[in-house]
Amino acid sequence: MRSVVCLKTVYSKVLIEDRKIASVPVVLQLRDPRHTYWRYGVAGLECVVECHNRLAGEIMAHYPEALDPQEYDEDSEVEWLEYWDDTYRAYFCEGNPIAVEGKVLVPHGYGIVPYAFGWARATPRTEASKRYRPLLAGVADTLRALDIYASIRATAAHDVLVNAWAVFSDQYGHGSRELDTGPDAINYFGARIRFRLCREGHCPRT
């Protein structure tokens, strides 16, 4: 089974006001992708809309003018909708916009859409870090083998095309034993033989 993991990253107002600089002042919220709708464009994620039910008492505690206490009990559920893009956010409750400081569209200041999506395989684990398995995890061993194979081929090509031995001797080619260039061959050089190792076009004398 393939699943979608939705993560929302927002500032933590409490940490910012308490000046707890030792902690990162952000909150990572794991959102339910079944209640989340997103749209991708040419430049990436354009906007995200969340729509789910919340308790009326919770809404009235944060936004007193959003609901009429005479019509809704604190334990009743109401429809909550959030809209986020790279510049603005907007809240709606029961289809009605919620004004924050007199504005329905509020600049959030993040500069991006504060959501991230990942496609993975679902697991029966309850821990947040183990609830899903990335799709690429299944090919990790194959990718590692391909890397080793590519490294072997690159090394072999480098040794064949770049490295070379240049042997200079007064006796070479005049009745002396020729060099054995076969696989695993060992050649012994006399005291008067001078040789240079040529690598990448440079031949330092050794």
Q: Is residue 167 part of a domain?
A: yes
| CA–CA separation, 163 and 159 (whole Å) | 5
Segments forming the whole domain that contains residue 194: 143-198
Please list the residues that pair with 39 across neighbouring strands. 47
User: In 159-183, which positions are buried (b, 16+ CB within 10 angstroms) versus exposed (e)?
Assistant: eeeeeeeeeeeeeeeeeeeeeeeee
Amino acid identity at 29? Q
Q: Please give the Cα distance from 83 to 104 (Å, whole number).
A: 11
Q: Tell me the one-letter amino acid at 195.
A: F
Token look-up 């697991």 returns 123
**Residues 162 and 66 grouped into a single domain:** no
Name the amino acid, one letter, at 56. Answer: A
Instruction: Specify whether 97 is located in the same domain as 167.
Output: no
Same domain, yes or no: 194 and 97:
no
Task: Give 7 or 172, the one with higher predicted confidence.
Answer: 7
Poorest-pLDDT segment among 80-84, 129-133, 142-146: 129-133
| Largest separation between any pair of C-alpha atoms in the chain | 114
117 lies in the same domain as 175: no
What is 42-76 written as a DSSP string? TTEEEEEEEEEEEEHHHHHHH-TTSS-TTT--TTS
Q: What is the distance between the alpha carbons of residues 46 and 31, in angstroms, rounded to a whole number? A: 18
Length of the chain in terms of residues written: 206
pLDDT for residue 61 is more than 70: yes
Q: What is the pTM of this model?
A: 0.54
Classify residue 83: in a domain, yes or no: yes
Give yes or no: residues 10 and 110 share one domain: yes
pLDDT-based confidence at residue 198 (cuts at 50, 70, 90): very low
Least confident of 1-5, 20-24, 73-77: 20-24
| CA 134 – CA 12 distance, rounded (Å) | 28
Between CA 78 and CA 205 the distance in angstroms is 84
- For residues 192 and 169, the answer to whether their CB atoms sit within 8 Å is yes
Residue 128 lies in a domain: no
Confidence of residue 166 (pLDDT cuts 50, 70, 90): low
- What average pLDDT score do residues 10-14 get? 75
DSSP state of 128: G
Verify that 48 and 105 share a domain, yes or no: yes
Q: Is residue 129 part of a domain?
A: no
Is 31 within 8 Å of 39 (Cβ atoms)? no
Q: How many CB atoms lie within 10 A of CB 48?
A: 21
How confident is the model over 130-155, as a mean pLDDT? 76
